[in-house]
Amino acid sequence: MAKDDDAAGDVPDRQGRRGARGRQRSGWLRRPQGWIHYLAVAASHRGTGLGTELVRRAESMLAALGCPKVQLQVRPENTSVIEFYERLGYATYQAVSMGKRLESDEIDL
Ligand SMILES: CC(C)(COP(=O)(O)OP(=O)(O)OC[C@H]1O[C@@H](n2cnc3c(N)ncnc32)[C@H](O)[C@@H]1OP(=O)(O)O)[C@@H](O)C(=O)NCCC(=O)NCCS
């Protein structure tokens, strides 16, 4: 679980204004954004409600920290997990994820 305090910085509105609407928009954007990363339950304990409980607890903790929204990423081929999150009220939205590896993921043995 993560809270990103600088998710958007001092962002103006779409017209570049930092007036009332811009302040309102940037104020909302400055609220911490909540993320769930790498949720997993041991294979021997899956299907017993633990995953649901972990998500609900993370949501409560992030809400208490002032996060207006929880986000997470799932690989598109992981359809059963997407269904798991949909049952918990999560909806998909289109975005392009980008990353750059700064070190090799090969393991020297
Ligand atoms: C996703 C995960 C955390 C769910 O944990 P869990 O403890 O099994 O979840 P729950 O027991 O609360 O399951 C809730 C419901 O979703 C279903 N479900 C959960 N994971 C599922 C899966 N991988 N495939 C099919 N159904 C799944 C359960 O059958 C249950 O359905 P029901 O309410 O109709 O009985 C677990 O499957 C897991 O660790 N998967 C591997 C790691 C992973 O892919 N994590 C997601 C990365 S973002």
Which CATH number belongs to the domain containing residue 9 in this structure? Answer: 3.40.630.30
Residue 105 vs residues 40, 76, 77, 98, 101: alpha-carbon distances, Å: 21, 22, 22, 17, 8
Answer whether residue 63 is part of any domain.
yes
Sheet holding 2-4, edge to edge: 2-4, 33-36, 70-72
* pLDDT bucket at 96, cuts 50 / 70 / 90: very high
Q: Is 39's pLDDT higher than 50? A: yes
Q: What is the mean predicted confidence (pLDDT) over 90-97?
A: 93
Query: Can you tell me the distance from the alpha carbon of 102 to that of 109, in angstroms, rounded to the nearest whole number?
Result: 20
Residue 4 vs residues 1, 11, 75: alpha-carbon distances, Å: 10, 15, 22
Q: Is 86's pLDDT higher than 90? A: yes
Rg (the chain; Cα; Å):
18
* pLDDT bucket at 7, cuts 50 / 70 / 90: very low
Is residue 58 within 8 Å of residue 40, measured between CB atoms? no
Answer whether residue 55 is part of any domain.
yes
Closest-lying ligand 1 atom to the alpha carbon of residue 75: 48
Answer whether residue 67 is part of any domain.
yes
Q: Is 3's pLDDT higher than 60? A: yes
- Compute, in angstroms, the gap from residue 4 CA to the centroid of ligand 1: 26
Domains held by the chain: number: 1
Task: Specify the pLDDT at position 67.
Answer: 94
The binding-site residues of ligand 1, defined as CB within 6 angstroms of any ligand atom, are 39-41, 46-52, 72, 74, 78, 80-81, 84
Answer whether residue 32 is part of any domain.
yes
Answer whether residue 76 is part of any domain.
yes
Answer whether residue 104 is part of any domain.
no
Indicate which residue's Cα is closest to atom 35 of ligand 1: 47
> pTM of the predicted model, to two decimals?
0.76
Task: Specify the pLDDT at position 19.
Answer: 52
**Residue 81: which residues within 8 A CB-CB, separation 6 or more?**
74
Answer whether residue 30 is part of any domain.
yes
Residues of the domain holding 50:
2-87
Residue in 54, 79, 81 to alter for ligand 1 test, most ligand atoms within 8 A of Cβ: 81
pLDDT tens-digit series, residues 47-60:
999 999 999 999 99
Answer whether residue 60 is part of any domain.
yes
